[in-house]
Amino acid sequence: MIKVRFPIPDRLIVLTFDDGVKSCATFVAPLLKHYRFGATFYITEGLNFLKDKDRYMTWGEIRELDEAGFEIGNHTRHHKNVSTQLREELIADLGHIDHRCQENGILLPQTFCYPGDHNSPEAVTVLEERQYLFARRGVAPEYPYYDEGGRGPAYNPTHHHPLLIPTTGASGPNWTFEDFIWAVEQAKDGNIAVLTFHGVPDLDHPWVHTEPVQFESYMNYLHNNDCTVIAMRDLARYVVPFTEIKE
């Protein structure tokens, strides 16, 4: 089975931002534009998205991210644990975000992120049927899950299923600059570093919070060290996506 399209360059970094936090539009996106970095923003209407428009983006702001060339990914309607959801519920929750994207003139999501990082073979089957290219999970089971961020495995396309791509670095109060460097250094010899952020800052969920000044130093490091920084869907330039894998 051929899984890699081109040799994976060293220092290939995937940037992802979960939950549609307001600071993604006001702080993160302008900084990424400055460096011309790609990134994926995983959107859910769960958590406090509908109630608190001071802390969560509007669909107008999400559309602006799409128009700016960033990827909008599906993070489900309700942000429920998909491993305990009925198949029909998950399909409806995915369809809801797709519908919202359509209504707002946003490209249909091609990649997915598991809410709370919970996954199951049944959920993967649903994603396969709906033709997602790639999906991102958390650091477990290879690494212990820490509530406030931590290290995870590098993504190796020859080992990992494209719909169960691990997080190599999960930002939070427990994840330091040293951990960030460690994650970037894993991106070699055919491995890719996948970074997971939430809000910068994240006022609603302090356990996934990233300090803006710290985030600036991360992006500056990626820029100064010739990293290629892409969105999840851009993996298809290097890796054969799920939809094109021939057994």
List interacting residues with Zn ion (CB under 5 A): 18-19, 115
Q: Which is nearer to Zn ion, 137 or 160 (CB)?
A: 137
CB of 100 to Zn ion, least distance (A): 16
Question: How far apart are the two ends of the chain, measured CA to CA in Å?
Answer: 6
CB of 19 to Zn ion, least distance (A): 4
Q: Where are the beta strands (DSSP E) in 104-218?
A: 111-113, 134-136, 150-151, 169-170, 193-197
CB of 82 to Zn ion, least distance (A): 11
Q: Which is nearer to Zn ion, 162 or 199 (CB)?
A: 199
The alpha carbon dihedral of 122, 129, 198, 228 has a sign of positive
Minimal CB distance to Zn ion: which residue? 18
CB of 131 to Zn ion, least distance (A): 22
Q: 143-148 long-range CB contacts below 8 Å, 24 or more apart?
A: 145/117, 146/170, 146/172, 146/174, 147/172, 147/174, 147/207, 148/172, 148/173, 148/174, 148/175, 148/207, 148/208
Q: Which is nearer to Zn ion, 157 or 169 (CB)?
A: 169
Q: Which is nearer to Zn ion, 56 or 218 (CB)?
A: 56
Q: Which is nearer to Zn ion, 124 or 187 (CB)?
A: 124
CB of 93 to Zn ion, least distance (A): 13
